[in-house]
Amino acid sequence: MLLRRLTDTPLIHNLKHSASSKFRNGTKRNFSAHDSGQMVSQSQKKLAARQEELMKRGLPKRTKIPNVENIIVVASGKGGVGKSTTAVNLALALSEVESQNKVGLLDMDVFGPSIPRMMNLSGSPALTKNDYMIPLTNYNIKCMSMGFLVEEKAAIVWRGPMVMSAVQRLLLRTDWGELSHLVLDLPPGTGDTQLSISQLVEVTGAVIVSTPQDIALLDARRGAEMFRKVNIPVLGVVQNMSIFTCPKCGHQEHIFGQHGVQNLATELGIDLLGDVALDPTIRQCADEGQPVLVSYPKSTQELAMEP
């Protein structure tokens, strides 16, 4: 009864009469595929323009970390390519040409922090009167990591907002003092952490680490393109695990392929910053918390890590 009352009105009758008359008189319009395509294209253009406008409004202004001259991010699209090892030894190499305690190392991998083990550091950071964390120091490098705030074997099971809060805390609430260089060890991929860092602080440049393997190079390319999209200069790429030399016979083998990173650098128009061999010594030094630049100064491995 209610439905009948709603439909049994003069307005509804007029609409029905008008529609039936137009249909009988052949005035019904047939939309072609071309008309539909134009409508979809115009709608997509409007949506893209609206999204770009909203993105510009929502992007925060990049800030400069007080007393830090340069921020260098070390990144990789793929995990397990030696990014953290490269970040540690890059910080140590920079400290050799700078004054003591002028280089910092920030571990931005919230879920899998590696810097505490590699730098042989443990314990919780002290706080200043303003509630800023004071970095832990070893080998003249100031270090901060989520690994200092949780137990080594504890699993961090956090959602996105909590991760972003931790990233901001590590990045903006650490009392670095005066630094010439702050090296950021980023997690693998091109996710929220990378985007947040690119929006929060002024980054001097990015270093991409990859093995010569094709699968790793695909993600390394994505990483380089991501930094370009957010207007962060890509300083170059480091080829890691490029060649293995048998310790008994001296035979050399390119286990992960050959010239892959060099070809990528040429294609992207960036520099090949280093070529590091697949050497058990580098791995062993990292696991023991005594980086190769500290354990074997002026060795072949150390020379490969020099800036």
As a three-state string, the secondary structure of 107-151 is ECCCCCCCHHHHCCCCCCCCECCCCCECCEEECCEEEEEHHHCCC
- Mean pLDDT in residue range 190-219: 90
pLDDT band, residue 22 (cuts 50/70/90): very low
Q: Is the pLDDT of residue 90 over 50?
A: yes
pLDDT band, residue 214 (cuts 50/70/90): very high
pLDDT band, residue 249 (cuts 50/70/90): very high
In this predicted structure, what is the pLDDT of residue 306? 55
Distance (Å, whole) CA 29 – CA 227: 49
The SS3 of residue 236 is strand
Residues in the chain: 307
pLDDT band, residue 52 (cuts 50/70/90): low
pLDDT band, residue 51 (cuts 50/70/90): low
- The token pair at 36 is 């539909």
In this predicted structure, what is the pLDDT of residue 61? 72
Q: Structure pTM?
A: 0.77
Q: Is the pLDDT of residue 7 over 50?
A: no
Distance (Å, whole) CA 26 – CA 38: 24
Maximal CA-CA distance, the chain: 98
pLDDT band, residue 40 (cuts 50/70/90): low
Question: Which residues face 106 on adjacent strands?
Answer: 144, 184
Q: Is the pLDDT of residue 62 over 90?
A: no
Q: Is the pLDDT of residue 11 over 50?
A: no
State the average pLDDT for the chain.
83
